[in-house]
Amino acid sequence: MNLLGEFALWTALLVAGWSAILAFATRGPARDRAAASVRQAPHAIALCLWVAAVSFWKALFSHDFSVEYVYSYSSRNLPDYFLFAAFWAGQKGSLLFWALVLATFASIAQLVTSRRYHDLLPAVAGVTSVVTGFFVLVMLVGGANPFERLPFVPPDGRGLNPQLQNPGMVIHPPMLYLGYIGMTIPFAFAVAALMARRLDSGWIHAIRRWSLVSWLFLSVGITIGMWWAYVELGWGGYWAWDPVENASLLPWLTLTAFLHSVMVQEKRGMLKRWNLSLVIGSFLLAIFGTFLTRSGVIASVHSFTQSNVGYFFLGFLLVAGVLCYTLLYTRWPSLEPEATLDSLASREAAFLFNNLVLLGIAFSVLWGTLFPILSEAVRGTKISVGPPFFNRVNVPLGLLLLLLTGIGPLIAWRRASAANLSRQFTGPVVAGLVVALGLLLAGLRDGYALAALAIAGFVTGTVAQEFIRGVRARGRLYQEPALVALGRLIARNRRRYGGYLVHLAIVVYFVAFAGGAFKVAKEATLRVGEAIEIDSPFGHRYRLTHLGVSQYQSLNRRVSAATLEVRQDGVRVGTIKSEKRQHVDSFGQPTFQPSTEVGIRSNLREDLYVVFAGTVDGTERGSFAVTVHPLVWWVWAGGVLLVVGGLVTMWPGGPEMAPRARPAPTRVEPEGVAV
């Protein structure tokens, strides 16, 4: 099977190379003949990669430790779902996974794209083949062959790093990868449109759903990553501005910008160059993230082992960047905007500012991430910036963005009249002010948190107002009961109301982030019966009493579990347990460093988060770190709402292609050509 897998990789490389030549190096009649052939290539490549992937899974599940990767990332006593996930636990396997997903997407893109854009598909196949081929090339000649053999067969593998032995490992990397890789398809369409000079808005329609899918996967992947870091890493937070986290945020920011600016192109024929730049940029940032996590140029807790693979990615990044932006430059004149901005008080302007802020955030995150390298290159000394820098720059920008989230969807296109503004925004502004006043009276004094929650109130007001008006209008028109009207309202205007749900999700995230400002943490070493007290920012006091440590064997690990009794203002509310785990191999020998299983008591207001840091000299005396982290639950709630909203937005079928009916018409109503 291993030979078959390796053979399949070489075949994929050859097919990809051949397809690229046919797609880009043929001219005239030869090109037309080649087109049909090129369009089949992604299917062949996908087939090859599935053969390779199945072989690889087979090696993992059959404990074939003659394969170096299987030895390095699995063991006989690893549960099946982690054997499955060990596929992407290491550098080599994750490259294979990248290529596998990309090839699958490329194949699907050839099948599902509407007939109208079929003339773009040969070039799309060419681009996806080049990118897939590049990944396969890195595996085969870049020293990252997942099927590499050992000269002997070890009796057992080293096992999976315990920090990766979390349900997050099964879903987080695939989600993030689906997001990263999904961006290749819009990118391929953009390049194809540029090459074919088909620069009307056609290519944008062809990729709308693809860019939404990538965006959704990326959002979910990032959120699950936050959850995983939160429950696994034990420092009491979910976002540390680590370079690898930042690398996933960068393409998310540019893609979010694109999803908004593309609407301006659909409605007004503006921003064509900008949109192409964003699509290309998002793809390059995805590759950049891959480079960052794999090269070891920047120290990060998440990164793979340092290797030369990074230089391949750097090279690819530079070549692809230069080629794509040169191509864009040569097509510059045919990308004249069809309209200009009429007024600052317009949806176009709101979207432009939204893009500016998103790109500003992306730039500052990139800058901060690369600052150690930049400062060393320019001044000869490494200077690093951490969370204080990122928070300082991004909190105000984030708040501005949140404000635009409320303004953008409600303000009229072209030019908003004073009547439009007062009709749409009076209610929400009042809502925001009421929230601010209420919180001030409740004793909240943190400026940023106050602003965040007030703006959250404003945006929630805008969304609620839209839903209420929509439901009322349907009620009047069709005499529907409110719930039916709500369901139909969403179902008939999926893009619009799905978008509102996503915005609401973003609000929920911001509320959670505001809560993070009030985190409190304490450390203590406790004998059995001793207690630690910690004050919640909501005013009550927790008292945690150490009840003792129990030790037992479980599955593939030895566990020491410490249990604490939790009292809130003197009332017993339950217990909380945190574990120290030492994973062992099938011979009972310890593998890897010990790991911690955090104890969490979560409710709507706050999380009580306990880390058991180990016992003292073999006694039951234990060290603990306790954190009270307000509103963490809201991050996960925001994630769920975001998925719901995203799915509504992109759900296939339905009357979304029809001109959008506006239940709440405004006086200025020059709707552009609807999708």
CB-based contact 90:121 (threshold 8 Å)? no
User: Contact region for another protein (CB under 8 A) — 12-20, 165-173, 560-568, 610-618?
Assistant: 610-618
- Kindly state the tokens that stand for 68: 């170096």
Is position 381 an interface residue for another protein (rule: CB under 8 A)? Answer: yes
- C-alpha–C-alpha distance, residues 159 and 170, integer Å: 16
Q: Residue 64: which H helix or E strand, with range?
A: none
- C-alpha–C-alpha distance, residues 573 and 601, integer Å: 10
Interface mask toward another protein for 229-268; x: CB under 8 A = -----xx---------------------------------
Please say which residue, 375 or 568, places its beta carbon nearer to another protein: 375
- Minimum Å gap between C-beta 253 and another protein is 13
The owner of tokens 């690369």 is 370
Task: Report the residue from 2, 11, 19, 72 that binds another protein according to the rule CB under 8 A.
Answer: 72
Please say which residue, 11 or 163, places its beta carbon nearer to another protein: 163
Is position 448 an interface residue for another protein (rule: CB under 8 A)? Answer: no
Is position 372 an interface residue for another protein (rule: CB under 8 A)? Answer: yes
Interface mask toward another protein for 621-660; x: CB under 8 A = x-x-x-----------------------------------
Please say which residue, 316 or 592, places its beta carbon nearer to another protein: 592
Is position 529 an interface residue for another protein (rule: CB under 8 A)? Answer: no
CA–CA distances in Å: residue 230 to residues 234, 591, 627, 639:
7, 23, 12, 15
Q: In what order do the strands lie in the sheet with 557-568?
A: 531-535, 541-554, 557-568, 571-583, 595-597
- Minimum Å gap between C-beta 385 and another protein is 5
- Kindly state the tokens that stand for 589: 């020998």
Is position 317 an interface residue for another protein (rule: CB under 8 A)? Answer: no
CB-based contact 223:230 (threshold 8 Å)? no
From the CB of residue 442, how many other CB atoms can be counted at a distance below 10 Å? 7
User: 3-class DSSP state for residue 193?
Assistant: helix
Nearest CA among 209, 231, 223 for reference residue 252? 223
- C-alpha–C-alpha distance, residues 429 and 3, integer Å: 66
Is position 585 an interface residue for another protein (rule: CB under 8 A)? Answer: no
Task: Report the residue from 27, 29, 115, 340 that binds another protein according to the rule CB under 8 A.
Answer: 340
Q: Residue 132: which H helix or E strand, with range?
A: helix 121-141
Task: Report the residue from 363, 538, 552, 587 that binds another protein according to the rule CB under 8 A.
Answer: 363
Written as one string, the DSSP assignment of 434-478 is HHHHHHHHTT---HHHHHHHHHHHHHHHHHHHHHHHHHHHHHHHH
User: 3-class DSSP state for residue 30?
Assistant: helix
User: Contact region for another protein (CB under 8 A) — 24-32, 387-395, 478-486, 631-639?
Assistant: 387-395
- Minimum Å gap between C-beta 71 and another protein is 8
> Please, which of residues 498-527 interact with another protein by CB under 8 A?
523, 525
Is position 433 an interface residue for another protein (rule: CB under 8 A)? Answer: no
Is position 364 an interface residue for another protein (rule: CB under 8 A)? Answer: yes
Query: Given the rule CB under 8 A, which residues bind another protein?
Result: 68, 71-72, 150-152, 154, 158, 163, 234-235, 299, 301, 305, 340-344, 346, 349, 352-353, 356-357, 360, 363-364, 367-368, 371-372, 375, 381-386, 388-389, 392-393, 396-397, 400, 523, 525, 593-596, 611, 613-617, 621, 623, 625
